[in-house]
Structure 1
């Protein structure tokens, strides 16, 4: 099993990603493996929007109102993103994220819409494992801009872990139509 140090090293080997890690107040990294490419994995993650996530978003709206934070409209369902339609161009939208940096078959980083309380980056780094499968390092970096950012994020953080893990599994299942595709959650 790989240690947290090795997981972070997988991201830090791309110097262009340092800007997202620098001065982070919160950093999280999760790993999953599967027989799928980066583009398909991310499109599967971003197309996953079950009923329980809709419910969590409604609860989030209550927290946002109490803290006086920016309210972002979110549809009841999000359209599925086909792998070929997923943007790798900085500044383009990808679901409710804004693409910040990407390199085909290597990494993809996006940011949540602008808020006054925090800045959050979501990224995926892909590497081939020893079994010639893809290992995906999915990371979240949060930088607090105001005291409400810390309060808000610490309230939602337990759900953040559940949502990200579920999205990762959905990303692997994206191409389950072929018998070769499987997943193995490493951490």
Structure 2
């Protein structure tokens, strides 16, 4: 199993895999964690995706939002009372959380994203059991982008370096929160 935040391919069982040839860009990062109790599901992972961003990730998102604004794309806006919003978030298709709308959800995967005039993107949070160890799961974050016009392509040139820093950091943070919640129960 790869260490947390390692680049990998789109999981074969992911919802996004069937359309992977239609995307202009995609990447995936994977990590693993113990889930002996089987308590981590796609809803929990979806909530963890939106919680507990580090100061560095927050700064990178702020820079990203400034760049996005120059291109006329949607931004995530300011998050006020984040925990209150998360308490009511069920991670169900159609729900919106900042810039991200929930498109699809299964027991093992949540697909978030947005369609904008310049580009469409999806983020898959995919859980899978590791076959060689019954108590471990992998979490793969896959991002896909489809450009709608030249401005979308140019925009992503500027955002891509931030994306490649933010996503592995978010994955590591999510896994760290899973592990700390587990150890807090004991």
TM-score of the superposition, structure 2-length normalised? 0.76
Q: Which residue of 2 aligns with 1:27?
A: 26
* Counterparts in 2 of 1:177 and 1:64: CA distance versus 1, 3 Å: closer
* Counterparts in 2 of 1:124 and 1:152: CA distance versus 1, 3 Å: same
* Counterparts in 2 of 1:162 and 1:81: CA distance versus 1, 3 Å: farther
Distance in 1 of aligned mates of 2:44 and 2:166: 18
- After superposition, the C-alpha distances for 1:136-165 in whole angstroms (9 at most, x for unaligned) are 121000000111111111211111121111
| Secondary structure class of the residue paired with 2:181 | coil
Q: Which residue of 1 aligns with 2:46?
A: 42
- Match status 1:103 vs 2:102: no
How do 1:27-176 and structure 2 match up within 5 A?
A: 27-36=26-35, 37-38=40-41, 39-67=43-71, 69-72=72-75, 74-76=77-79, 79-80=82-83, 86-104=89-107, 106-112=108-114, 114-129=115-130, 130-132=132-134, 133-175=136-178, 176=180
Q: Which residue of 2 aligns with 1:184?
A: none
Q: Note if contact 1:47-1:81 (Cα within 8 Å) is conserved in structure 2.
A: no
* Counterparts in 2 of 1:42 and 1:64: CA distance versus 1, 3 Å: closer
- After superposition, the C-alpha distances for 1:54-89 in whole angstroms (9 at most, x for unaligned) are 33233234323443x234351155614898855342
Matched residue count: 173
Distance in 2 of aligned mates of 1:101 and 1:127: 17
Distance in 2 of aligned mates of 1:145 and 1:46: 26
Q: Note if contact 1:87-1:93 (Cα within 8 Å) is conserved in structure 2.
A: no
Q: Note if contact 2:45-2:125 (Cα within 8 Å) is conserved in structure 1.
A: no
Distance in 1 of aligned mates of 2:30 and 2:62: 28
Runs of 4 or more, structure 1, over 6 Å off, are 81-84
**What's the Cα RMSD here?**
3.0
Q: Note if contact 1:88-1:101 (Cα within 8 Å) is conserved in structure 2.
A: no
Structure 1 unaligned segments of length 5 or more: list them: 182-187
Structure 2 unaligned segments of length 5 or more: list them: none
